[in-house]
Amino acid sequence: MSNIRERAESETKGHSIMNTHGERAAWFLGGAGVCPPVAAPAGKIYRLLLLGPPGSGKGTQAEHLKEALNACHLSMGDIFRAAQELDEEDRTPAMREALSAMSEGRLVADATVIALLRERVRCVACPGGFLLDGFPRTLAQAHALEGILREQRLDLTAVLYYDAPHEDIVRRISGRLTCRQCKSVYHLEHNPPPSPGKCGVCGGELYRRPDDQPEAVWVRLRAYERSTAPLVAYYEERGLLRTIPAVGKPGEVFERTRKCLGL
């Protein structure tokens, strides 16, 4: 049994989904994963899309929202990481195609990404609601999601767009330093190492990853803006978009999110 399967299954044994978010089994494994039964919450059910450029703090906000709403955090990035860890026999055809594209340096086709989500339609239909992160990335994916929700007779609550000045994002990401030996992560502003250039855990050399170099971050941000602008317009036209300034401390951003959702 692969490590990812063991981890996913262990999260669902002997616990309720509300305190361990055992949705991970079905989300990691697709059709082979089974979640424990989930009762609909007594209050409002939230089905949210999370948008935001790299470095906007979207992942941190997702964790806060997961706890506040008792909703499943469904990250497409987790599926790609799970596919890499799964044994070959546990991978679905869509997983194999996604890994093939990634290994060859190709973008994963819309059809493949949509197939990955369709394998997990039970997660989308979870009675506890969801926080969908990393999907859709294109208009084709947005249209596919709209069709899936229509089939399930579900509606989106809102699309949360975490917006931050690009200069702030570049500073956040390019300030990260990683230890070559133990992989501990520091930040020049928020979590500086005790000694310049040296890891406080193992004494190893600290370095800035190539994709964290300022020039690389700017390239990623421009690519993200090109791909996301149509999505922002698409959901704005449907009255679903909620833009949240992602500046300040994570707690401050979450307070804006709470007010936006009326929590």
Active site residues: 58, 137, 176, 209, 220
Provide the 10 A C-beta neighbour count for residue 90. Answer: 19
Measured CA to CA, the distance from residue 98 to residue 115 in angstroms comes to: 10
Q: In Å, what is the CA distance from 183 to each residue of 60, 160, 190?
A: 20, 32, 17
The Cα diameter of the chain in Å comes to 57
Query: What is the amino acid identity at position 141?
Result: Q
Measured CA to CA, the distance from residue 174 to residue 180 in angstroms comes to: 16
- Phi, psi (rounded to 5 degrees) for 59: -65, -40
Provide the 10 A C-beta neighbour count for residue 226. Answer: 9
Contact 127, 44 (CB under 8 A): no
Three-state SS for 158?
strand
Measured CA to CA, the distance from residue 75 to residue 148 in angstroms comes to: 17
